[in-house]
Amino acid sequence: MSKKIFSGVQPTGNLHLGNYLGAIKNFVNLQKEKDNTCIYCVVDLHAITVKQDPRILKKNIRETTATFLASGLDPKKSIIFNQSMVPSHSEGAWLLGCVARMGWLNRMTQFKEKAGKDKEKASVGLYIYPVLMASDILLYNSTHVPVGEDQKQHLELTRDIAQKFNLDFNSPNFLITPEPLIQKNFSRIMSLKDGKKKMSKSDPSDQSRINMTDDKDQIVNKIKKAKTDSGEFPENNNDLNKRPELNNLFGIYSSIQDQDMKSTINEFQGKNFSEFKNRLAEVLVEKIYPISKEISKLLKDEKYIDEVLIEGSVKAEKIAKKKVYDIKEKIGF
Ligand code: AMP
Ligand code: TRP
């Protein structure tokens, strides 16, 4: 069956191994499937839900686009664009925001996490962020949305909004309810310093993550220093269950090598931690460093990156505008 794929990544700097293994690698695989239509968006309107420095934002938009391209996304095969250049997303968010219920948004855990203790000071944008995300997805009649585990709740909200709109305006199947595509294994890559915390752009410690722009030495050094524990080298899957740091490192190795955990454990039978870490660093350098090199090369040609985004935005706006028109017609405008 042909799939309509849509996904987005925020241009907030420091794209890391978690973004790559949890999302971008999957984007590239989906682009390879013959009948898929793929649309990948740099969601810069989502980024401004928290304060951004205008010059750094512009740099990060280009860097995220360069990471897409360097990882293997091809503007001839996929539509690649940034959200702020397609005004229909914002218009759609308003229209859908009048269908979404406060009670639904109040349940969103990402808002609670990001707003922290002082909810009164969070931007209104941060609160309605999931409605904009629903607009992104629904305007393209997307059937499948590849995301990391943390976005599952937002996808459920998108489905609720689609269903309520269809019901309220007596239009069965008009807005398509999308399915999340979440990697079954290794969907959460954890911090290299704390196996219970997600690897994250915003972690103040750079040692906690492998950035997609790290060079060889940085990758090797971070893996060497990655936290393990003082237990024995694991012999089977059960050994890993209660050892979050090791579980994460074995997971990263398995994910990058496209193999299951069992094969990884078998591969290292009779070896020790330093042999495992050396090999892990080696495969990361093999797979991530070429992407890092390509990102630096692409970033030297800002004109090319900007052209990719402009061309992608023109294609995206054509599709999104039509859907906004249809939505408005249903509403009575
Ligand atoms: P964000 O950086 O929050 O815009 O996330 C971009 C994509 O990467 C989303 O699909 C996230 O779910 C995914 N992602 C972010 N951090 C991780 C992580 N540590 N492990 C797996 N996936 C992640
Ligand atoms: N909220 C997503 C994140 O933080 C990014 C995003 C915005 C997105 N719009 C989207 C992902 C549409 C998938 C589809 O990772």
pLDDT at residue 185 tops 90: no
In a domain, 28, yes or no: yes
Same-domain check for residues 55 and 8: yes
Least confident piece of the model among 182-186, 202-206, 267-271: 182-186
Torsion angle of alpha carbons 214, 216, 220, 226, nearest 10°? 10
**C-alpha of residue 180 to centroid of ligand 1, in Å:** 14
User: Which residues line the pocket of ligand 2, CB cutoff 6 A?
Assistant: 6-8, 10, 43, 46, 133, 136-137, 145, 147, 151, 154
In angstroms, rounded to a whole number, what is the distance separating the alpha carbons of residues 233 and 264?
13
Pick from 42-56, 182-196, 240-254 the range whose average pLDDT is largest.
42-56
Shared domain check, 325 and 234 = no
For residue 146, the CA-to-ligand 2 centroid distance in Å is 9
Q: Does residue 262 form part of some domain?
A: yes
CA dist 319 and 9 (Å) reads 20
| Confidence (pLDDT) at 202 | 87
Mean pLDDT rounded to a whole number for the chain? 95
Q: What is the pLDDT of residue 325?
A: 98
Question: Of the ligands numbered here, which is closest to the C-alpha atom of 252?
Answer: 1
Give the count of beta carbons closer than 10 Å to the beta carbon of residue 272.
10
The answer to the question of residue 165 being in a domain is yes
- 12 or 307, which is more confident? 307
pLDDT at 13: 84
pLDDT category of residue 153 using cuts at 50, 70 and 90: very high
Question: Identity (one letter) of the amino acid at 294?
Answer: E
Average pLDDT over residues 122-148: 97
Phi, psi values for residue 299, rounded to 5°: -65, -15
User: Using 50, 70 and 90 to split pLDDT, how confident is the model at 181?
Assistant: very high
220 and 116 within one domain? no
Instruction: Compute the average pLDDT of residues 292-304.
Output: 97
173 shares its domain with 313: yes
CA distance 267 to 196: 25
pLDDT for the residue 165: 98
Q: Is the CB of 60 under 6 A from ligand 1?
A: no
- In which domain, by residue range, is 253 found? 206-297
Please check whether residues 32 and 137 belong to one and the same domain: yes
**CB of 186 closer than 8 Å to CB of 252:** yes
Same domain, 181 and 257: no
User: The CATH number of the domain where 327 resides is what?
Assistant: 3.40.50.620
Contacts 24+ apart (CB under 8 A), 111-117: 114/50
Is 23 touching ligand 1 by the criterion CB < 6 Å?
A: yes
236 within a domain of the structure (yes/no): yes
Q: What is the pLDDT of residue 158?
A: 98
**199 in a structural domain:** no
Residue 187's pLDDT band, with cuts at 50, 70 and 90, is confident
In this predicted structure, the answer to whether residue 33 has a pLDDT above a threshold of 90 is: yes
Atom 11 of ligand 2: nearest residue by CA position: 8
Whether residues 57 and 168 share a domain: the answer is yes
Structural contact between residues 15 and 71, judged by C-beta atoms closer than 8 angstroms: no
Check whether residue 174 and residue 224 sit in a common domain: no
What local confidence, expressed as pLDDT, does residue 331 receive? 98
State residue 221's pLDDT score.
97
Residues 241, 108 share a domain = no
Residue 193 in any domain: the answer is no
Where are any strands of DSSP class E within 134-275?
Answer: 144-146, 179-181
Q: Is the CB of 49 under 6 A from ligand 1?
A: no
Residue 118, pLDDT > 90, answer no
Residues 6 or more apart from 96 whose CB is under 8 A from it?
A: 131, 134, 135, 138, 161, 165, 327
Whether residue 14 is predicted with pLDDT greater than 90 in this model: the reply is no
Total domains, the chain: 2
Q: Is residue 195 part of a domain?
A: no
Res. 129 pLDDT band, cuts 50 70 90: very high
Residue 283 maps to which CATH number?
1.10.240.10
Which residues, in sequence order, are CB contacts of 86 under 8 Å at separation 6+?
Answer: 313, 316, 317, 320
pLDDT at 81 over 90: yes
Ligand 2 centre from 233 Cα, in Å? 38
Dist. CA 7 → ligand 2 center (Å)? 6
Nearest Cα to Cα of residue 78 among 22, 4, 2: 4
Looking at the fold, whether 236 and 181 belong to one and the same domain comes out as: no
Which of 190, 214, 235, 225 is closest to 292 using CA atoms? 214
The answer to whether the CB of 14 falls within 8 A of the CB of 67 is no
Among 100-114, 232-246, 256-270, the least confident range:
232-246
- What do you get for the CA distance between the two ends of the chain, in Å? 35
The confidence score (pLDDT) of residue 200 equals 92
Ligand nearest to the CA of 83: 2
Query: Given pLDDT bands bounded at 50, 70 and 90, which one contains residue 2?
Result: confident
Q: Are residues 137 and 279 in the same domain?
A: no
Active site residues: 114, 198, 201
Q: Please tell me if the CB atom of residue 150 comes closer than 6 angstroms to any atom of ligand 1.
A: yes
198 in a structural domain: no
Least confident of 56-60, 198-202, 210-214: 198-202
pLDDT of residue 150: 87
Please enumerate in sequence order all residues whose Cβ is within 8 A of that of 71, keeping only pairs 6 or more positions apart, or say none.
Answer: 20, 24, 25, 27, 28, 212, 291
The pLDDT tens digits of the residues spanning 90-99 come to: 999 999 999 9
Both 88 and 161 in one domain: the answer is yes
